[in-house]
């Protein structure tokens, strides 16, 4: 089951919805499916949404439907006849003669109804990508003014969606995880929202571990490369003029480095029997390499 399907299953299973919110939820579900004077229906691949639409239209709106589940993937439920269509339009304060479908705010009896309405809208035309792969929630809306009304509602809730036109449809979408989590929690999909938060935390932990690991590997590589260059310089001196040609303070460092080829500069300071700082150790090694370069 996809992540979108799991969210919609969670939303369809909600119970004890207040009567005013139930009205708003059905309104969102119906309005953002196919809602016009020549086509009042829903086409979906989601069985939970399909069953909820049929139940809502039969029991709440009182409309007869023709159901087609013969397709390989998509199921369709269509309102029968002009009389049933008019009944549905009037139920939500619309007219079958409307030339431009807009959201009728009279269907929101209370503030809580907006939450239920958006839940219905998501069930009808929303989808969410798998958060393990990417963060993306979108609504596919067929009409420009209807999409404008939906964006206005979301803007008033400080959800700040984005808009794009795709294949003749108006797409309202979110790309950041926090907005998606907030929206899912707002419409009642708390479990799905918490799941997304968990995925994001897991990703953040993995990224932090990877960054630290890459940093350590980079430091190790730098240490090894520096040590190799130093040893090459010391061996060059040893094989030409000999280490005894070096001043005692440099010869001691050269021999210490040859004995400990894989240690870092800090570790060499700790191994040195005398008293020397890290900068002092670096200065002497640089001096040895300079002598080697001049040979």
Predicted local confidence at residue 152, as pLDDT: 94
- pLDDT in tens for each of the 295 residues of the chain? 899 999 999 999 999 999 999 999 999 999 999 998 888 999 999 999 999 999 999 999 999 999 988 766 789 999 998 899 999 999 999 988 877 889 999 999 999 999 999 999 999 999 999 998 999 999 999 899 999 999 999 999 898 899 999 988 999 999 999 999 999 999 999 999 999 889 888 878 887 888 888 888 887 788 788 888 888 888 888 898 888 888 888 888 888 888 888 788 888 888 888 888 888 888 988 988 888 888 8
Predicted local confidence at residue 71, as pLDDT: 66
Under 8 Å CB-to-CB from 91, ≥6 apart: which residues? 61, 62
Question: What are the structural domains of the chain?
Answer: 3-188 (3.10.28.10), 204-293 (no CATH)
Closest CA to 200 of 103, 135, 263, 146: 135
Predicted local confidence at residue 72, as pLDDT: 64
Q: 101-108: list long-range contacts, CB under 8 Å, 24+ apart.
A: 101/31, 101/35, 101/36, 101/143, 101/145, 101/146, 102/145, 102/146, 102/149, 103/31, 103/146, 103/149, 103/150, 103/153, 104/27, 107/23, 107/24, 107/27, 108/24
Predicted local confidence at residue 280, as pLDDT: 87
The burial class, CB within 10 Å (0-12 / 13-18 / 19+), for 234 is buried
């Amino acid at each position: 089951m996809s992540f979108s399907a799991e969210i919609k299953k969670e939303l369809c299973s909600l119970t004890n919805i207040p009567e005013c919110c139930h009205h708003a939820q059905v309104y969102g579900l119906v309005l953002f499916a196919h809602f016009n004077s020549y086509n009042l229906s829903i086409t979906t691949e989601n069985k939970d949404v399909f069953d909820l639409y049929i139940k809502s239209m039969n029991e709440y709106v009182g409309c007869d439907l023709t159901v087609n589940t013969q397709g390989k993937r998509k199921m369709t439920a269509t309102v029968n006849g002009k009389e049933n269509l008019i009944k549905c339009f009037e139920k939500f304060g619309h007219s079958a003669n409307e030339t431009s479908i807009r959201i009728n705010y009279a269907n929101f009896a209370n503030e809580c109804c907006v939450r239920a309405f958006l839940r219905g809208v998501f069930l009808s035309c929303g989808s969410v990508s798998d958060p393990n792969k990417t963060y993306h929630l979108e609504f596919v809306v067929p009409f420009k003014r209807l999409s404008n009304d939906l964006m206005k509602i979301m803007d008033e809730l400080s959800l700040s969606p984005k808009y794009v036109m795709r294949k003749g449809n108006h797409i309202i979408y979110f790309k950041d995880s926090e907005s998606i989590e907030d929206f899912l929690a707002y419409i009642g999909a708390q479990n799905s929202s918490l799941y997304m938060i968990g995925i994001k935390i897991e990703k953040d932990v993995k990224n932090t571990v990877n960054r630290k690991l890459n940093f350590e590997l980079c430091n190790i590589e730098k240490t090894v490369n520096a040590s190799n260059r130093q040893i090459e310089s010391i061996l060059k001196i040893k094989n030409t003029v000999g280490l005894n040609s070096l001043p005692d303070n440099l010869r001691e460092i050269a021999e210490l480095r040859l004995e400990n080829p894989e240690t870092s500069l800090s570790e060499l300071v700790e191994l040195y029997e005398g008293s020397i700082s890290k900068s002092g150790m670096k200065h002497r090694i640089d001096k040895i390499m300079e002598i080697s370069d001049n040979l």
